[in-house]
Amino acid sequence: MGSAFFGLTPEIVPEARINLFSNIHQIIFFGKGGYNYHTVYNMPIWMRRHYLNLVRDVIDRENKANDRDYQDASKKFSQNQQTSNRIQRPNIRAPKNVSVNSNVRRK
């Protein structure tokens, strides 16, 4: 018969440590300097999970916004490609006070 102990066993300790330190890293890294290691490590578990969920929500919103922007840009690009198959030159003009002479001899 197995052990009646329901705590950490040697098999799951390494995974639990990796999860703990990954969560601490995410809060510190995405907190952009608002937290240090000892503060996050000593936080109550419920508070650490709350802040981690807030960080994940912010990242998800940023990813969705980036995806929308990317889709909008790709739609505009494909519309421009459909209207013209030629490569368009950049709209660069010489300043008015500079003369452009293409007949300059080079040594």
Domain boundaries, the chain: 13-77
pLDDT of residue 42 exceeding 90: yes
Contacts of 24 (CB under 8 A, 6+ apart): 37, 40, 41, 48
Query: pLDDT per residue over 47-58, tens digit each?
Result: 999 999 998 999
Query: pLDDT per residue over 7-29, tens digit each?
Result: 777 788 888 889 899 999 999 98
Q: What is the mean pLDDT of the chain?
A: 82
Query: pLDDT per residue over 67-106, tens digit each?
Result: 999 988 888 777 766 666 667 778 888 787 777 666 656 5
Q: What is the pLDDT of residue 12?
A: 83
Residue carrying the six token digits 């969560």: 23
CA 1 to chain centre: 49
